[in-house]
Amino acid sequence: MNRTVLMIEDNEQNRYLATFLLERRGHSVVSSADGPSGIEEAARLRPDIILLDIQLPGLDGYAVARALRQNPALDAIPIVAVTSYAMPGDREKALEAGCTGYLEKPIDPDTFVDSIERFLPPKESP
């Protein structure tokens, strides 16, 4: 199930681990390290799914999610917040900003990719 994943994440270690896990499952991963470049990359790439950190330089993840949802070409792409924000109300805030799903850090390497794949739409047959 090879899909293109855009990961908007500023922490190099988090990018490395998530990329390793996703590529091991056959996905292609493209990364952006801040909000503005993530928005640009999403418009250029049109990935199958976007993994979005909330605490980002440039624009926070909430602003990035809102910007992505304002672009009709990107509106249907699932956005999954992958964040250390785990206080009461953080999940709701991410969903209200336009995220499709929410996963807390630290990620569990054994379940991370399965958790992400739940948000992928079925792949169209050729």
Question: Can you give the CATH number for the domain in which 23 is found?
Answer: 3.40.50.2300
Please check whether residue 39 lies inside any domain of the structure.
yes
> To the nearest whole percent, how much of the chain has pLDDT over 90?
87
Whether the pLDDT of residue 57 is over 70: the answer is yes
Measured over the CA atoms of residue 25, residue 123, residue 101 and residue 118, the dihedral's sign is negative
Please check whether residue 29 lies inside any domain of the structure.
yes
Structure tokens at 55: 């605490």
Mean pLDDT for 7-21 is: 97
Please check whether residue 125 lies inside any domain of the structure.
no
**17 within 8 A of 109, measured Cβ to Cβ:** yes
Please check whether residue 57 lies inside any domain of the structure.
yes
Structure letter (DSSP) for residue 100: S
Residue 49: its pLDDT value, please? 98
Residue 24: its pLDDT value, please? 97
Mean pLDDT for 84-103 is: 92
Structure letter (DSSP) for residue 11: -
Please check whether residue 68 lies inside any domain of the structure.
yes
Helices 61-70, 35-45: crossing angle, 10 deg rounding: 30
Total structural domains in the chain? 1
Residue 56: its pLDDT value, please? 95
